[in-house]
Amino acid sequence: MAQALAIATYLLVGLVLYTQVGYALLIYPFWLAFGRRPLPPPPVRLPFVSAIVAAHNEERVIEEKVANLRSLDYPKELLEVIVSCDGCTDRTAALARAAGADLVVEGPREGKVRAQDRAVAQAKGELLAFSDANSSWEAGALKELIRPFSDPNVGYACGQVRYLTPAGATSGEGLYWRFELFIRRMESDLCSVTGGNGGIYAVRREAYLVVDPVMGHDLSFPFNMVKRGWRALYVPTAVARELMVPTVEGEFARKRRMMSHTWPIVVRGGLLSPRGYPLRYLVMVLSHRLLRYLCPFLHLLALACSAAAAGVGAGLPVLVLLWLQGAGIVAFLGGRYLPLRPLLLVRHYLLGQAAILLGLYDWLRHGTAATWTPPAETR
Buried b / exposed e along 224-249 (16+ C-beta atoms within 10 A): bbbbeebbbbbbeebbbbbbbbbbbe
What CATH number matches the domain at 49-245, 2.40.10.10, 3.10.20.30, 3.90.550.10, 3.40.50.410?
A: 3.90.550.10
In terms of C-beta density within 10 A (0-12 exposed, 13-18 middle, 19 or more buried), how is residue 41 classed?
Answer: exposed
Render each residue's pLDDT in the chain as its tens digit; 379 residues. Answer: 778 888 899 999 999 999 999 999 999 999 999 887 777 777 779 999 999 999 999 999 999 999 999 999 999 999 999 999 999 999 999 999 999 999 999 999 999 999 999 999 999 999 999 999 999 999 999 999 999 999 999 999 999 998 877 654 444 556 778 899 999 999 999 999 999 999 999 999 999 999 999 999 999 999 999 999 999 999 999 999 988 777 778 889 989 999 999 999 999 999 999 999 999 999 999 999 999 999 999 999 999 999 888 878 777 888 888 899 999 999 999 888 888 888 888 999 999 999 999 999 999 998 888 887 776 656 6
Facing residues of 234 across strands? Answer: 158
Q: Are the C-beta atoms of residues 282 and 204 closer than 8 Å to each other?
A: no
Between CA 243 and CA 124 the distance in angstroms is 31
291-311 and 316-334 helices, crossing angle to 10°: 120
User: Looking at the whole model, is its pTM more than 0.85?
Assistant: yes
Question: Residue 378: what pLDDT?
Answer: 61
Query: Among 137, 197, 146, 141, which Cα is nearest to 40's?
Result: 146
Q: Are the C-beta atoms of residues 368 and 260 closer than 8 Å to each other?
A: yes
Query: Among 38, 89, 24, which Cα is nearest to 235's?
Result: 38
Q: Are the C-beta atoms of residues 305 and 12 closer than 8 Å to each other?
A: yes
Domain ranges for the chain, please list them. Answer: 49-245
Which tens digit of pLDDT belongs to each residue from 256-291? 999 999 999 999 999 999 999 999 999 999 999 999
Between CA 308 and CA 242 the distance in angstroms is 45
Question: Residue 170: what pLDDT?
Answer: 45
Question: Residue 67: what pLDDT?
Answer: 98
Question: Residue 379: what pLDDT?
Answer: 66
Between CA 137 and CA 133 the distance in angstroms is 11
Task: Give the phi and the psi of residue 198 in degrees, each rounded to 5.
Answer: -90, -10
Question: Residue 168: what pLDDT?
Answer: 47
